[in-house]
Amino acid sequence: MTANLRLRFAFLAAVLVATPALTPAAVAGQAAGGARSPAARPSASASQAATSPAASPAASPAAAPGAKRRQHTVIVDAGHGGVDRGMTGMTSARRPVYEKDITLSIARLLAARLEAAGVRVVMTRTADTLIGLYDRGPIANAADGDAFISIHVNAANPNWKDPSAARGFETYFLAEARTEDERRVAEMENASVQYDTGPRAPRNDDALGFMLSDMLQNEHLRESSDLASTIQQGLRAVHPGPSRGVKQGNLVVLVKAFMPSVLVEVGFGSNRSEADWIASASGQAQLADSIARSTLDYLARYDRRVTGGSSGK
């Protein structure tokens, strides 16, 4: 155990001693940021989130007798939605494109690909509706997800020398940003927190919740990095733009998802040729196919690590 982690546990112990009325169940509930069990009555925001018919918990097939592992569940998150358009780009035909529309189209295709491979999929949204950033992770936790994939569209910094020329794809996992560009992307995507007004929006004085969340996220740090690397490598084969690499940042949408979690920036909507591709049916299909294959590869590799190479279902 590192010195940093020992300090975190020491702090947590001190807080728990100072609050004797806090039961283990209450601690777990606070750590999950209000995540409900699948049997609990959904909150207003969670009820807006939808699963496809095959992805409904009630519709999931029971494991076959003697099965060694359960059916995988992947949470597919279409960034932004509703009044939150995300970034606005322009195609070469001068047609405006909105991040919320591109992400939803790709997310639907990705969900279909994963379901066809036998994966249970839960989508945080299936329509043009607003789901708060801090509500998305708890939706994933309530579904007992094995992975959380958030789809987004990048935009260039207008202060760059030639912002319209920026292009390419990158995949993020939750960790401290190391570069100015990583901080820029986190700030851009985190701007949607202005629409969070529900009970899961963080309080400034919630030190215990912050520490518990931090420790739970550290548990999945290596797996999130592996998932990000696998998706990034897969996109190299289909994306016309350059690979901008695996990145890390303090992305709010990933904070409350206690499982391997990534955010994929599928391209720059601020680049007209790239906007053409990511807004096209062909480009979206290639992106969904690649991310689905990479996710399946990651899940299979994870199963082999956990089971020591034993077969699954």
Question: What are the domain boundaries of the chain?
Answer: 50-57+69-307
Sign of CA dihedral 94, 98, 103, 106: negative
Residue with the larger pLDDT of the pair 170 and 10? 170
pLDDT digits (tens, 9 = 90+) for 138-175: 999 999 999 999 999 999 998 899 999 999 999 999 99
How confident is the model over 124-139, as a mean pLDDT? 96
Q: Which of 42-56, 114-128, 251-265 has the weakest average pLDDT?
A: 42-56
Average pLDDT in the 123-138 region? 96
pLDDT tens by residue, 173-198: 999 899 999 999 999 999 998 887 66
Q: What angle do CA 227, 220, 115 make, to 5 degrees?
A: 45
d(C-alpha 265, C-alpha 77), whole Å = 12
Q: What residues have CB less than 8 Å from 90, skipping those under 6 apart?
A: 96, 97, 272, 275
DSSP-assigned states of every residue in the chain: --HHHHHHHHHHHHHHHH-TT--HHHHHHHHTTTPPPTTSPPPHHHHHS---GGGSGGGSPPPPTT-SSPPPEEEEEE--BTTB---EEE-TT--EEEHHHHHHHHHHHHHHHHHHTT-EEEES-SSS----HHHHHHHHHHTT-SEEEEEEEE---TTSSSGGG---EEEEEES---SHHHHHHHHHHHGGGGG--STTSPPTT-HHHHHHHHHHHHHTHHHHHHHHHHHHHHHTTT-SSPEEEEEEE--HHHHT--SSEEEEEEEETTSHHHHHHHHSHHHHHHHHHHHHHHHHHHHHHHHHHHHTS----
**DSSP of 182-213, one letter per residue?**
HHHHHHHHHGGGGG--STTSPPTT-HHHHHHH
pLDDT category at 202 given cuts 50, 70, 90 is low
pTM above 0.85, yes or no: no
Of 39-48, 105-114, 156-165, 210-219, which has the strongest mean pLDDT?
105-114
The third-level CATH classification (topology) of the domain covering 50-57+69-307 is Aminopeptidase (3.40.630)
Q: Of 94-98, 300-304, 305-309, where does mean pLDDT reach its minimum? A: 305-309
Residue 151 · residue 108 · CB < 8 Å: no
